[in-house]
Structure formats: structure tokens, C-alpha cells
Chains A and B, each alone.
Chain A
Amino acid sequence: MKVRRLSFTLSIVLLLAMLGPFGAAAQGDVVTIEWWSVASEEYSEEAQRGLVEQFEAEHPGIKVNLTILPESGFTEKMTTTLGAGEGAPDVAFFWDNNWFPQALDLTPYIEADPDLGPETYFPGFWTTRAVWQDKIVGLPLGVGANFVMYNKAVFDAAGVPYPAEDWTTDDYNALVAQLANPEQRIWGGDTPRGPYRAIWQNYGAFPYSDDSMTVDGYLNGPESVASYTWLWDLVATGGTPTPADLEILGTEGTGPVDLFIAGRLAMATLNQGHMLNAVEAGVEFGIVPEPQVPGNDRYVNAWSLTASVWAGTEHPDEAYEFLSYWVGPEGQRYLMEHGNLFPSIPSALEEYEGADTEYAQAFFRVLELKQVAEWANAHPCKGTVLRAANDAWDLVMLGEIGRDEVQATLDSLAPAAQAALDECRERLGG
């Protein structure tokens, strides 16, 4: 009896000894980190709060305070907060490249992390969204990409074979002409939503030189002329919706998915969200990359969101712990299963419930292509230059110039684009 009592007492003492200091330490050492995010179709607020709960359960020493901001104002709030130098969140989306200087250099963390590294992610997204000036400034969350979706019913009705993945820009124009049926108000395909995206880069066309010094010979170089001429030919088929049609019938500027689902657009350049819309609508469709130019590199307009740790955080270790959970395999898997996120991690993406479908496989293959963003991200003056040169696009789209006037039009715009480039380069410090 004495032994049992002694044993019981010792057990209690031991238990208290174990719980006491640890419990006190756990209470005292809980670190709260601020996380700013947005809610979207890919990750709802509910899903993100669920992720926080799961993280906190696995990491009792860290509490995550999630603030969901409206997507429309996120950029302004982050920019002004980072500019003020105080009050920024420990962890947040750093989707604007201008914020990268304010992001914590994660290189030592990644080097010390056995579970996370460049090989974890799709290479294109790691290059474009994680690395900046030889530093790792964030991790890429989710993937998105543009590709051409074709409506099988419209193709079948026209007796036209489906496009193959190795199709060319000329094939695209020929198919548009074949599939367009004005009597039934069916368009063969849509036009790109702007120059110097995938098809322009497939032609090898860039608005200015890689060193950001020269417009002449690039904006109006043979590659640019060829790509604009291709656009001219496409518009001339009469088989594409006009800018007015697309403005009205497009879907929030992301692509005319409603027209596509309704069978009024045989081919449309859409994205993975639209792909899910089409699946939900029961449309039979296929996916191919945007058409290539034989002999040239092939590009995809793809995107991912950089998530990062603010350089001014007082809790860098805990912030990285959460970041690597949120944007690592666990977090991206969780958001895939509880939302519509397509992970930027191939091993997680393979677990997508429809991964073995024809369309999903085609989408995954598109993600392996070279990315438009590789050039665009390294050239912050691109937007300014294109604004100066945008008239060429309008003139072709409105059918206001002849095919043989493309070169002259681009030549005439080059000086203004050069001036815009010079001003931008100087403003950004050369």
C-alpha cells in the first residue's frame, strides 16, 4: 500500500514536473504572427481559417492572426504599409515585384529546410515568383495559366478535326476561318487580350532589348512585325469576336468563357478557373497550349502568387514556419482539397482529384513550358512602353490599317516608346 501510494505520489509529481514548466513555457512563449490574405475562388476565407486551425494545432507555440482584405484594395494597402515601414504583416502575399526589396531574404531558411527547396516547385514558377536578384524572396502559391480550350461539339458539327498540341499560329487562323459560322452566330476563336504575351514571344518578339536600352529593332523588328501580321490575318478572317463583342460578352476581362460554354466560340484562350466552369457546365472540351511558331521556343502565359515574410518582422523564424506550411505541400494540398487551388508543387498537383482526366493532363503539360513572365518580371518598364505603343494594337484590331502598313505603324510608334523606356529606366535608377 505504501509503495502504491508512493508510486502514485511520484507519478503526480513527475506529471506536474513535466507539465508545469512546459505548460508555463508554452503559454509564455506563444508568438502571434500577422497574416494578411485575400479570399478568392481558389481559397475561400473559410478554407484559410481552417488552414490556420490545422497549423496552430500542429504548432502550439505559434498563433496566426489572419486578416482577410478585399482583393481590390490589397495592393494599395500593402504598398502604403510597406512604404510607411511599419505595421506590415509578418506573412502576406507579395504579388507586386516592387515589394520584393521589403521581403525577408529566405535563402538561409530554404538552405536549412530539408523539406522545401527549388526542386519542390515547378521550375518556371520558382524562377519567376520566388527568386529575385539572386535572393529567395518568397514562395509561389498556386498556379494558373492560359491555354486554348476547344469545344468538341462545335468542331464535330463542323466536321473539323481537333487541334493537336503541336499546332501552329497559321493552323489557328485556318481553324478560325473554318469554324466560324456567321449564320449561327458562331465565332471560330478569340483574339489575344494584348500584345507580347505567349504568341508574341513564340514569334520571338519583345517590345525592347533585354538590357532595357533599345526599342528600335525590337518593337518594330521582324519578329514583332510577324506577330502583328499574324494578328492582322486573324482579324481579317472575320471569324473572331470584335473588341466590342469581347468587352460585352467576355467575363470580367479574364476570357470569354460564357461564349465558349454556350457553344458560340469554338476556341477560346482561357484559364484553369474557366476549365472548372466548363467541367461544371458539362461541356465536352479539350485543351492545347497556345499555338507555336515552328523552330522557336514556346511560351505560356502563366502565373503564381508570391507569398513572403516581411523583412521588418519581429518573428522571422515563426513567420517562416507558417509560410513554409501555407505555401508548402501541406498548405497547398489543404487549399486544393478545401477550395479550387491548383498547387505549384507537382507532387501535390498529382493528387488533384481529376488529375487523370485528359484536360487536366493537358493543363499540367502547359505548366512545363517557358513562361512569358520570365521576361516580363525582369522588365518593370514593360507596361509603360506598351502604353506608348498600344496604338498598333488598336489599329490592327479595328481593321484601320492594311497588312502592308504594319511595319510603318510600328516604326512610327518606336520613338514614343523609346522615350517612355528612357524615362522609366531613369526613374527606376537606370
Chain B
Amino acid sequence: MLSSWRKMGPQARREALEGYLCLAPWAIGFVVFTAMPLLVSIWLGFTQWTITQPPKWVGVDNYTRMFTADPLFWQSLKVTVQYVLISLPLRLVLGLGLALLLNLKVPGMNFYRTVFYIPAVISGVAVALMWMWLLQPDTGVINTLLSYAGVEGPGWFWDRNWALPSVALMSVWKVGGGAIIYLAGLQNIPPHLYEAAQIDGSNRWQRFWRITLPLLTPTIFFQLVIELIESFKVFTEAFVITQGGPLKATYFYLLYFYEEAFRNFNMGYASALALVLTLVILATTVFIYNTSDRWVYYET
């Protein structure tokens, strides 16, 4: 690097320097606020630390306990994976469906796009409280409407079998954010492909299946990775509404992490929990990435 620097002319050096200066704010921020805390957290995972006392090195004890003697670790991981499996396909499919609707050429579309995007920017706590009211078993709007149709609504968040699906259902509220990304992808598809297909006599379904979907796969891939990470990080809903209950049916991984870190001040164990979640997300993402060449189509 030093030799290439020496070979540079004054103009090139100045440009390089300016480039590094422009990068510096992000680079410093990344090192100070992301990389260093991450490294410290990895180290803390091998300690016992209650904040008010100095950390004590315990080797792999935290991980041994986690994998062999901690039923709450397995319960929270199980619940979180179940949530991911329910909510992720739901959000991907509904987000795409909404984007297709928002891509129609009808009057007032900008208004609709704005309306559907608004939930994505509303505070998670406010949304959780609103859903708590909507899904209240006796007086909530949803069960009241169901009762008009002669259906006895479930106990939603307060029923051990329905609590997790309720939180997953609630996550659909935010599909507007993903739909905007899909919409950008849809609008990048060249119109002449549709025109050519139409001339060849294709119907709507064929155009969607043969043109839209393949050309949208890069966007779907992006959405899949982002939504997957978001799903693993589910927390607010359980923290505000269910506190992990009933019967630990919504005891998500991050809720367990939060309780260990900020209620019990068991920072060493919490750091170990955080690292394991990071590795789970990383492994899943790498798996998806490695399969992407089989189903993601990039137009050259």
C-alpha cells in the first residue's frame, strides 16, 4: 500500500486523501460503535460480569450451561425459530402482494403508497399497544367483528396456542415498508418485456410467473435476508404485551437476553447469548446466500 502511495502523483494522492477523509466518519463510527463493542461482547461471553464487580474469566462455562443446562435457552430459541417460520413467509408474500397492488396505475396511488408505508415508521410500542386493544378477547374489535359472523374469536395473546401466531400476525402490520422495496424492484423491470410477452399472447399469470417473479428475485433475496434478521430480533411485542407468556409461549430469544442483561445484570451470560444469536443469524444468512445462485436471476 505504501509503495502504491509513493507511485501516486500529487493529484492522485490528494484525491485518495480526500476519499479517506470522506470515509473516516463512517469508519470511525463503525470501529467505535460496532466493531469494538462486538469484540468486547465476545470477550465478555467468556466471563461472569454483574457490572458492579469486575468481570471474572470463566472460560466456556457460559456456553456449557447454555447448551446443557438451560431450558430457557432452548425454549426461547424454539419460540423464536417458530416465529421466524410463521412470520417470514407471511411478510414476504403479503409484502409482494401489496407491492403488486401499489404498482397498478390507478388514480391516487401516491396517497395509497403513503398510507401503507406509515405503519413502518410508527413506534413499535404504540403499535403493540394498539394490537393489544384490537385483539382483546372480550372487547377487542377483531373478536367483536368475528362474533357478528357467528365465530367465537380466540384468546389471542392470552391463549397459549394463539399467542405466538398473534405476534406473527401483528408483524404483518409493517409489510408496507417491505412493499416499497418490492415496488422499486417492480418498477425496474423493463416494460418492453411485458409488451413482447403480450404480443406473444401471454396472460397475466404467465407474465407474472415468467417475467415479474424472475426479475424480482434479487429484490426478494434482499428482502429475505433483511426480514430474516428482523424476525430473529423480535422483542417489543413480547416485552410490551405478553412478557413472554402465557406459559412462555412468546418467550423470545431477545426477551431472555434482555432479562439476563438488564434485569439480572448477568452480562457475561447475556453476551454469550448474543453471540450465539449472531452466529445463528449468520449461518442462516450464509446458507441463503449460498443457495441464491440457484434461484436469484440477475439480468445482465
Contact = CB atoms under 8 A, between A and B. Distances in A.
A398 B136 CA distance: 15
A76 B52 contact: no
B136 A244 contact: yes
B241 interface: yes
B157 A244 contact: yes
Interface in B136-160: 136-139, 155-160
Interface in B189-225: none
B241 A247 contact: yes
A111 B241 CA distance: 48
Nearest to B139: A248
A333 to B, nearest CB: 33
Contacts of A76: 262
Contact of A388 (B69, B72, B262): B72
Interface stretch (B28-36, B80-88, B98-106, B245-253): B245-253
Interface string A381-419: 001100110110011011010000000000000001001
B264 A395 contact: no
A248 B264 contact: no
A247 B158 contact: yes
- The residue among A99, A101, A423 with the most chain B CB atoms within 10 A of its own CB is A423
- The residue among B48, B51, B241 with the most chain A CB atoms within 10 A of its own CB is B51
A243 B159 CA distance: 10
B259 interface: yes
A83 B52 contact: yes
A427 B266 contact: yes
A83 B159 CA distance: 41
B71 interface: yes
Nearest to A415: B71
Contacts of B132: 247-248
Contact of B245 (A82, A388, A390): A390
A248 B136 contact: yes
Nearest to B240: A247
B35 to A, nearest CB: 20
B51 A83 contact: yes
B54 to A, nearest CB: 9
Contacts of B138: 242, 244-245
Contacts of A11: none
B263 interface: yes
A102 B259 contact: no
Nearest to A384: B264
A387 B65 CA distance: 17
Contacts of B52: 79, 82-83, 98-99, 101-102
A65 interface: no
B137 A244 contact: yes
A80 interface: yes
B265 A79 contact: yes
A298 to B, nearest CB: 29
B50 interface: yes
A248 B248 CA distance: 20
- The residue among A80, A388, A394, A416 with the most chain B CB atoms within 10 A of its own CB is A394
B133 interface: yes
Contacts of A98: 50, 52, 265
Given A243-B158, A244-B137, A391-B248, A79 B264 contact: no
Contacts of B51: 79-80, 82-83
Contacts of A102: 52
Nearest to B50: A98
Given A76-B262, A242-B137, A248-B136, A394 B247 contact: yes
Contacts of B136: 244-245, 248
A391 B251 CA distance: 12
A330 to B, nearest CB: 32
A364 B138 CA distance: 38
A387 B260 CA distance: 11
Contact of A387 (B133, B137, B159, B259): B259
A397 B155 CA distance: 13
Contacts of B248: 390-391
B72 A395 contact: no
Nearest to B267: A83
A380 to B, nearest CB: 9
A351 B132 CA distance: 43
Contacts of B48: 427
A430 to B, nearest CB: 13
Contacts of A398: 158-160, 246-247
A419 B69 contact: yes
Contacts of B262: 76
A244 B263 contact: no
Contacts of B246: 243, 394, 397-398
A11 B78 CA distance: 87
A428 B248 CA distance: 26
Contacts of A394: 160, 245-247
Given A80-B51, A248-B139, A383-B263, 15 more contacts: A101-B52, A242-B158, A243-B158, A244-B158, A245-B136, A384-B264, A387-B259, A390-B245, A394-B245, A394-B247, A397-B246, A398-B158, A398-B246, A398-B247, A423-B69
Interface of A: 76, 79-80, 82-83, 98-99, 101-102, 242-245, 247-248, 383-384, 387-388, 390-391, 394-395, 397-398, 400, 416, 419, 423, 427-428
30 contacts: A76-B262, A79-B52, A82-B51, A83-B52, A98-B50, A98-B52, A99-B52, A101-B52, A242-B138, A243-B158, A244-B137, A244-B156, A244-B157, A244-B158, A245-B136, A245-B138, A247-B158, A248-B133, A248-B139, A387-B72, A388-B72, A390-B248, A391-B247, A391-B248, A395-B247, A398-B159, A398-B246, A398-B247, A400-B160, A416-B71
10 cross-chain pairs, A with B, having the tightest CB-CB distances, nearest first: A83-B51, A244-B158, A394-B246, A394-B247, A248-B136, A79-B51, A244-B137, A83-B52, A391-B247, A82-B52
